[in-house]
Chain A
Amino acid sequence: MQVEKFYYDNKTVKWFAYAVMVWGLVGMLAGLWIAVEIYYPPLSMGFAPTTFGRMRPVHTNAVIFAFVGNGIFMGVYYSLQRLCKARMFSDALSKIHFWGWQLIILAAALTLWAGCTTGKEYAELEWPIDIAIALVWVLFGINMFGTLIKRRESHIYVAIWFYIATWVTVAMLHIVNSLELPISILKSYSLYAGVQDALVQWWYGHNAVAFFLTTPYLGLMYYFLPKAANRPVYSYRLSIVHFWALIFLYIWAGPHHLLYTALPDWAQSLGTVFSIMLIAPSWGGMLNGLFTLRGAWDKVREEPVLKFLVVAVTCYGMSTFEGPMLSLKNVNAISHFTDWTIAHVHIGALGWNGFMTFGVLYFLIPKLWNTELYSKKLATTHFWLGTIGIILYAVPLYWAGFTQAMMWKSFTEEGQLKFQFLETVTHILPMYIARSIGGLIYLIGAIVMTYNLIKTIGQGSFIGDEAAEAAALPKVLETHSKEYWHRWIESRPLQMLFFSLIAVAIGGAIEIIPTFLVKSNIPTISSVKPYTPLELHGRDVYIREGCYLCHSQMVRPFRDEVARYGEYSKAGEFVYDHPFQWGSKRTGPDLARLGAKYPDSWHFNHMQDPQSMSPGSIMPSYPWLFENDINAFQTPKMIWAMRTLGVPYPVGYEDQCNKDAEAQANEIVARLKADKLEVKPAREIVALIAYLQRLGKDIKAAPKETKKVVADAAVLGN
């Protein structure tokens, strides 16, 4: 057989590695910033881009799509070439992919700081960036499949199965969830509304965790862990079973983010049971990783790379066990909307993704620069800083989350709520402080690593094109009769792509399609009317400032929530909400029934100086809302967009809408004036007050009989 000589492209790997280091520090710093802001709100300095509501998406996008994203590409570009015994398909595509992705990140950071957001968590980026992401993702796919097609290895290794499933699923999720109707270059509205939007969003959100943070990193684990330990992979058949089970089951679990909400009960139950069934497939990955280390545990003691990988895989096991537990309704009733979720997520993010990335970096950099790691001692220091950081981060937050939930649910014997919402917040502030210290220690660890790697790079010499040789792939592959049935698909990457797509499409389709088509899932409430033009503007301000990141709009059917906020939320209330704003965390109280609870002047003072109206509040002030005007030019377009999406504004309302908005603004200004507060009617604060005063008002106005019908329909719908 002819042996061919070729070169691995290490340059692209190097660029991605640099990007990982830079964005990692940026993303973690943004995280630390908001962690401090949450107990020290003056840190926002009255400057819009630095407030919690805008910095939080910057943090999440930076760590997920910049840090982990570049980590995926770094690992894939390194391992794919070696597993295929081939150079990447096209150097040009590699280059476009790298720079395209960095430009997307830059554009994402700038637009998020500027307040351009779709208001959907982890999918905040506006439509031009969404399109750019789709394009770059497709280029990455072409590059990957090109490499697979010209490979010299007859079969594709389990790591690549995970890469393929990642690629196809992320493409599907991103495209479906990002469908939106643009009204300007940086503003669009989600195609879906209310319950449907929530379902699509969390189908995406949950599977962003699954297919952006988990499956590609499992692929990396399958390459780098056996390489670093120099041990054979524990069980090939476990790889097969847990791979297919994982990708098939994962996609169903999204609704566990919406337990006890207005989502139909059958969908909630599917979310729960598929999460429980996920325990084993997730643990399959952990076991295959840890058992691969059998006979090599002595190396773990010596080798920093393995230390990081072992803790990463263990954290993966812990959070994939905790996740299903949090999907049980009785646990979720406590954990949801509290810091428990944040702690859970960070076990995965800091432990699994962070430590995996660090381990891979410590493995790769010396290899690429043909040298030894500058200091193993510093790497071990980093390991301990990171581990202590994770513990100090997570434990206080678990404590805070549990304590706060218990306080929310406490009643006196007379049947009154025992604690005001604000008391439950101020009570856990010390936990927030401890958490930020944990985060700081973790960040210091990452800085130590950066120093160590820079020193390593300094002492080595980079190999841009690494020589390798392998026999060409024969035209017809030999098949042995005794081989596993699964070997068939392992030599056919396109079939692998096709069957992966089928496996991941089923769950989503079964949950989403009936929710859109079957009317009984969302019983109509006749008193629910579209927003007025001014309220729409206020809603845009609400979304822009990221209010949904701290305030939910979803009263769950619990005794304490009904007592605290009012009647629990119904599916029919949200039919005009493009996008939905249910939120996922209650740093502040729920706002679903806020309308008419306080006078306009209360909101006015509260937005200017929250502490003046609720002493001890940790909400930042929003002075710019009192200086900026709403864009009246855009009102007709907003009305047009909403009507296109199915909101019943009469045809031609575009000509009337600004007049209506002015009239409503003048009413609010007059009411404020009566309380000696002066403001111009065009200011954003007026629109925001209009929106806040609207929240939950429709259902209060509902006649008794309709309510009964709705209740009956809800029972029948189940």
Chain B
Amino acid sequence: MLPIALLLTSTASLWAQGPKAPSSLSNPFVLILSLVIVALALVIAFLAKLVISSAFIKLNKDKKSQSGGFATVLTIVGLLSSFSLMAQDKAATDTASAAKGAVSLSSSLNGVSETAFYLLGSVVFLEVLIIIILLFVLRAFLVVEKKAIVSASSDEVVPEAELNWWDNLNRFKPIHQEADIDLGHNYDGIRELDNKLPPWWLYGFYCCIVFAGIYLYRYHVAESAPLSKQEYEISVAKADAEKAAYLEKSANNVDENTVKLLTDQASLAAAKKTFETICAACHLPSGAGSVGPNLTDDYWLHGGGIKDVFKTIKYGWPDKGMKSWKDDFSPIQIAQLASYVKSLHGTNPANGKAPQGSLYKEEASADAAKADTTKAAKVDSTKK
């Protein structure tokens, strides 16, 4: 039931918000936490079942020897089962409210609103606590039972006095009344019973079918949920806005017109690391060139000024094999890289690739650099 409830709440909250603001359930962090909650709830249900069946075994044993202790065990069982049921309910409602909370609050942790984070976190904590308690109780029972197994024969079937919540949940018939629902089929000794469908299973099935209907209606009839491409556009618009807001107040906002040669050790060291892992694939770690051109000589294909190099890295020259790196590196990183490349000038590494392009002199103006670039392109194309 719980997963179904979760699914439904996710739909409901999505519905409430409309297509523009995706539910916080689409936040992977919330999603994973929710899945953890579901998984833990299932573990709790399973453990609770184990505890209860061991409790009944102990109960029956106690009954044989003495009638005392009955009430205690029953209380524990009742308490535990209701507790775990409540925990499951709580998990469902919590997730739902967490999802809503995430929308209304602006302060966020890991992309999730604080309320959602703490709510989900506390549910997980609570569930872990319950599991620990259950494990302790179970261990206590098992110690008793282990002794019992040694003494008693396992074939002995003890009719259960009462149906517990687990039996009720599944509409189990007591095992000693099994003969009433035996269908009389016999396939190579295999008999079949006519137990009713477990209600939670059946209603879970109905819920899934309803979910399917709502899902299809929302995406393809009402069109109130974004399809893949719209989802993409929404995410890009959001990211662009965030990026613009960040760059506005940050000092990293350099471009090819404002870039200056950096000489501080920290910048060059950072760039050196990137150069030797990424750029080295084509230009070698020394910058001597292999697939890409030699970066240490006086000749440049696309201009050798800091602005030219910045531009080359930022936009690339895709037809010559240099890709654009603007999606991989930030403006300041590109500025550092360009400065590092400039710092390689004249290092004369061994096995340097033959010069390509045209001679570049540092004092050349921006216009001259431009002319060089076009000339260089011509030289290059005639070479081919």
User: Most chain-B CB neighbours within 10 Å: which of A270, A299, A416, A674?
Assistant: A416
- B231 engages A294 (CB within 8 Å): no
Task: Please measure, in the bound complex, the distance between the C-alpha atom of A483 and the C-alpha atom of B193, giving whole angstroms.
Answer: 14
Query: Is B74 engaged at the interface, CB distance under 8 Å to the other chain?
Result: no
Q: Which of B191, B205, B252, B277 contacts A233 (CB 8 A)?
A: B191
- Inside 8 A of B333's CB, which chain A residues have their CB? 416
- Inside 8 A of B208's CB, which chain A residues have their CB? 276-277, 279-280
- A269 engages B192 (CB within 8 Å): no
Closest to B167 in A: A294
Interface string of A253-286 (1 = CB under 8 A from B): 0000000100001101110111011011101100
Query: Is A287 engaged at the interface, CB distance under 8 Å to the other chain?
Result: yes
- B195 engages A234 (CB within 8 Å): yes
Would you give the shortest CB distance from B323 to chain A, in whole angstroms? Answer: 6
- A294 engages B172 (CB within 8 Å): yes
Interface string of A553-571 (1 = CB under 8 A from B): 0001111001110001000
* Known pairs A83-B188, A602-B282, A615-B277; A298 contacts B154 (CB<8 A): yes
Q: Which of B190, B216, B239, B277 contacts A227 (CB 8 A)?
A: B190
Task: Please measure, in the bound complex, the distance between the C-alpha atom of A302 and the C-alpha atom of B154, giving whole angstroms.
Answer: 10
Task: Please measure, in the bound complex, the distance between the C-alpha atom of A273 and the C-alpha atom of B246, giving whole angstroms.
Answer: 39
Would you give the shortest CB distance from A111 to chain B, in whole angstroms? Answer: 36
Q: Which of B232, B235, B280 contacts A615 (CB 8 A)?
A: B280
- Inside 8 A of B175's CB, which chain A residues have their CB? 294-295
Would you give the shortest CB distance from A447 to chain B, in whole angstroms? Answer: 32
- A234 engages B193 (CB within 8 Å): yes
* Known pairs A417-B328, A420-B278; A331 contacts B31 (CB<8 A): yes
User: Most chain-A CB neighbours within 10 Å: which of B208, B211, B328?
Assistant: B208
Task: Please measure, in the bound complex, the distance between the C-alpha atom of A232 and the C-alpha atom of B242, giving whole angstroms.
Answer: 63
- Inside 8 A of A596's CB, which chain B residues have their CB? 318-319
- A273 engages B196 (CB within 8 Å): no
Query: Is B83 engaged at the interface, CB distance under 8 Å to the other chain?
Result: no
* Known pairs A274-B212, A298-B154; A416 contacts B195 (CB<8 A): no
Task: Please measure, in the bound complex, the distance between the C-alpha atom of A294 and the C-alpha atom of B157, giving whole angstroms.
Answer: 11
- Inside 8 A of A153's CB, which chain B residues have their CB? 187
- B321 engages A599 (CB within 8 Å): yes
Q: Which of A281, A558, A563, A602 contacts B291 (CB 8 A)?
A: A602
Query: Is B315 engaged at the interface, CB distance under 8 Å to the other chain?
Result: no
- Inside 8 A of B211's CB, which chain A residues have their CB? 273, 276-277
* Known pairs A334-B28, A557-B229; A273 contacts B190 (CB<8 A): no
Task: Please measure, in the bound complex, the distance between the C-alpha atom of A420 and the C-alpha atom of B329, giving whole angstroms.
Answer: 10
Closest to B285 in A: A615
- B232 engages A235 (CB within 8 Å): no
User: Most chain-B CB neighbours within 10 Å: which of A223, A415, A564, A601?
Assistant: A415
Binds A, one of B127-135, B177-185, B342-350, B371-379: B177-185
Which chain A residues (336-394) contact chain B, with CB distance < 8 Å?
none
- A284 engages B192 (CB within 8 Å): no
- A325 engages B232 (CB within 8 Å): no
Q: Which of B188, B204, B215, B220 contacts A280 (CB 8 A)?
A: B204
Binds B, one of A236-244, A436-444, A494-502, A535-543: A236-244
Binds B, one of A31-39, A405-413, A630-638: A405-413
- Inside 8 A of A294's CB, which chain B residues have their CB? 172, 175
Query: Is B170 engaged at the interface, CB distance under 8 Å to the other chain?
Result: yes
Interface string of B1-38 (1 = CB under 8 A from A): 00100010000000000000000011010011001000
Interface size class of A (residues with CB under 8 A): 35 or more
- B231 engages A236 (CB within 8 Å): no
- Inside 8 A of A284's CB, which chain B residues have their CB? 201
Q: Which of B35, B281, B331 contacts A614 (CB 8 A)?
A: B281
- Inside 8 A of B242's CB, which chain A residues have their CB? 413, 415
Q: Main SS of chain A's interface residues?
A: helix
- B3 engages A269 (CB within 8 Å): no
Which chain B residues (279-311) contact chain A, with CB distance < 8 Å?
280-282, 290-291
* Known pairs A277-B209, A417-B328, A602-B321; A232 contacts B191 (CB<8 A): yes
* Known pairs A266-B220, A615-B281; A415 contacts B243 (CB<8 A): yes
- A237 engages B185 (CB within 8 Å): no
Query: Is A660 engaged at the interface, CB distance under 8 Å to the other chain?
Result: no
Query: Is A675 engaged at the interface, CB distance under 8 Å to the other chain?
Result: yes
- Inside 8 A of A287's CB, which chain B residues have their CB? 198, 201
Task: Please measure, in the bound complex, the distance between the C-alpha atom of A44 and the C-alpha atom of B307, giving whole angstroms.
Answer: 46
Query: Is B68 engaged at the interface, CB distance under 8 Å to the other chain?
Result: no
Closest to A557 in B: B232
- A279 engages B3 (CB within 8 Å): yes
* Known pairs A82-B188, A411-B239, A596-B318; A269 contacts B178 (CB<8 A): no
* Known pairs A557-B228, A558-B235, A601-B291; A281 contacts B197 (CB<8 A): no
- Inside 8 A of A334's CB, which chain B residues have their CB? 28, 31
- B194 engages A402 (CB within 8 Å): no
Closest to A277 in B: B208
- A568 engages B232 (CB within 8 Å): yes
- Inside 8 A of B195's CB, which chain A residues have their CB? 234-235, 237-238, 291
Q: Which of A223, A562, A674 contacts B232 (CB 8 A)?
A: A562
Query: Is B64 engaged at the interface, CB distance under 8 Å to the other chain?
Result: no
Would you give the shortest CB distance from B245 to chain A, in whole angstroms? Answer: 10
Which chain B residues (200-258) contact chain A, with CB distance < 8 Å?
201-202, 204-205, 208-209, 211-212, 215-216, 219-220, 227-229, 231-232, 235-236, 239-240, 242-243, 246-247, 250, 252
Closest to B28 in A: A334
- Inside 8 A of A82's CB, which chain B residues have their CB? 188
Interface string of B128-166 (1 = CB under 8 A from A): 000000000000000000000100001001000000000
* Known pairs A82-B188, A236-B193, A236-B194; A269 contacts B239 (CB<8 A): no
- Inside 8 A of A280's CB, which chain B residues have their CB? 201-202, 204-205, 208
Would you give the shortest CB distance from B160 to chain A, in whole angstroms? Answer: 10
Query: Is A226 engaged at the interface, CB distance under 8 Å to the other chain?
Result: yes
Task: Please measure, in the bound complex, the distance between the C-alpha atom of A82 and the C-alpha atom of B186, giving whole angstroms.
Answer: 11
- Inside 8 A of A155's CB, which chain B residues have their CB? 185
Task: Please measure, in the bound complex, the distance between the C-alpha atom of A409 and the C-alpha atom of B111, giving whole angstroms.
Answer: 13
Closest to B23 in A: A330
Q: Which of A232, A241, A321 contacts B193 (CB 8 A)?
A: A232
Q: Which of A85, A227, A563 contacts B327 (CB 8 A)?
A: A563
Query: Is A414 engaged at the interface, CB distance under 8 Å to the other chain?
Result: yes
Would you give the shortest CB distance from A239 to chain B, in whole angstroms? Answer: 8
Q: Which of A269, A291, A325, A562 contacts B215 (CB 8 A)?
A: A269
- A402 engages B32 (CB within 8 Å): yes
- A276 engages B194 (CB within 8 Å): no
Query: Is A659 engaged at the interface, CB distance under 8 Å to the other chain?
Result: no
Would you give the shortest CB distance from A618 to chain B, in whole angstroms? Answer: 15
Closest to B247 in A: A414
- A241 engages B197 (CB within 8 Å): yes
- A226 engages B236 (CB within 8 Å): no
Task: Please measure, in the bound complex, the distance between the C-alpha atom of A550 and the C-alpha atom of B150, giving whole angstroms.
Answer: 55
12 contacts between A and B (CB under 8 A): A226-B190, A227-B190, A235-B194, A236-B183, A266-B220, A269-B216, A274-B212, A299-B154, A414-B246, A558-B232, A602-B291, A615-B280
**Closest 10 interchain pairs by CB?**
A599-B321, A280-B205, A273-B212, A415-B243, A557-B232, A232-B191, A235-B195, A414-B330, A157-B187, A82-B188
Other A-B pairs, 4, CB within 8 Å; known A83-B187, A265-B219, A596-B318: A234-B195, A269-B215, A562-B232, A597-B321
Task: Give the interface of B toward A (CB within 8 A).
Answer: 3, 7, 25-26, 28, 31-32, 35, 53, 149, 154, 157, 170, 172, 175, 178, 182-183, 185, 187-198, 201-202, 204-205, 208-209, 211-212, 215-216, 219-220, 227-229, 231-232, 235-236, 239-240, 242-243, 246-247, 250, 252, 277-278, 280-282, 290-291, 318-321, 323, 326-333, 383-384
Task: Give the interface of A toward B (CB within 8 A).
Answer: 79, 82-83, 85, 153, 155, 157, 223, 226-227, 232-239, 241, 245, 260, 265-266, 268-270, 272-274, 276-277, 279-281, 283-284, 287, 291, 294-295, 297-299, 302, 321, 325, 329-331, 333-334, 402, 405-406, 409, 411-417, 420, 556-559, 562-564, 568, 596-599, 601-602, 605, 612-615, 671, 674-675, 714-715, 718
